[in-house]
Amino acid sequence: MSFDIPHLTEITLDDLEALGTGAGILGTGGGGNPRLGRLRLQTLLEDDAYPDSVELVDPRDLPVDATVASVGGMGAPTISVEKFAGGDEEVQSLRAIEELSGETVDALIPGEIGGANSMAPLCVAAMTDLPVVDADGMGRAFPELQMDTFFIYGTPVNYAATTDERGNQVVYRDIDSAKRLEDLARAITVQMGGRSGYAFPLMTGAFVSEYAVPHTVSLATELGRTVERARDAGTDPVDAGRELLGGEELFAGKIVDVHRRNRDGFALGSVTLTGLDEDATLEIEFQNEFLVARDDDGELLTTVPDLICLVDTDTGAPVMTDALRYGQRVRVLGVPAPELLTTPEALDVIGPEAFGYEIPYDPLPRDETGW
Say what the pLDDT of residue 369 is.
66
Helix H or strand E segment including 151: helix 149-152
Say what the pLDDT of residue 1 is.
55
Residue in 258, 236, 238 with CA at minimum distance from that of residue 247: 238
Q: What is the pTM of this model?
A: 0.96
What is the tens place of the pLDDT at every residue in 195-216?
999 999 999 999 999 999 999 9
Q: How far apart are CA 368 and CA 361, in angstroms?
A: 20
φ, ψ of residue 52 in degrees (nearest 5): -95, 10
Domains annotated on the chain, with CATH: 10-216 (3.40.1610.10), 236-355 (2.40.390.10)
Helix H or strand E segment including 107: strand 107-110
Helix H or strand E segment including 237: helix 237-245
What is the tens place of the pLDDT at every residue in 75-120?
877 676 677 677 899 999 999 999 999 999 999 999 999 989 999 9
Q: How far apart are CA 8 and CA 125, in angstroms?
A: 16
Say what the pLDDT of residue 9 is.
99
All residue ranges of the chain with pLDDT < 50 are none
Say what the pLDDT of residue 33 is.
86
Q: How far apart are CA 162 and CA 236, in angstroms?
A: 42
Say what the pLDDT of residue 32 is.
84
DSSP summary character for residue 318: B
Distances (CA, A) of 59 to 4, 108, 204, 217: 17, 11, 11, 11
Distances (CA, A) of 118 to 85, 169, 271, 317: 16, 23, 25, 16
DSSP-assigned states of every residue in 27-81: TTT-SS-HHHHHHHHHHHHHSTTS-SEEEEE-GGGS-TT-EEEEEEEEE-HHHHH
Distances (CA, A) of 364 to 107, 276, 357: 34, 24, 18
Q: How far apart are CA 197 and CA 174, in angstroms?
A: 20
E strands within 230-368? 248-263, 266-275, 281-287, 289-295, 300-303, 307-312, 329-335
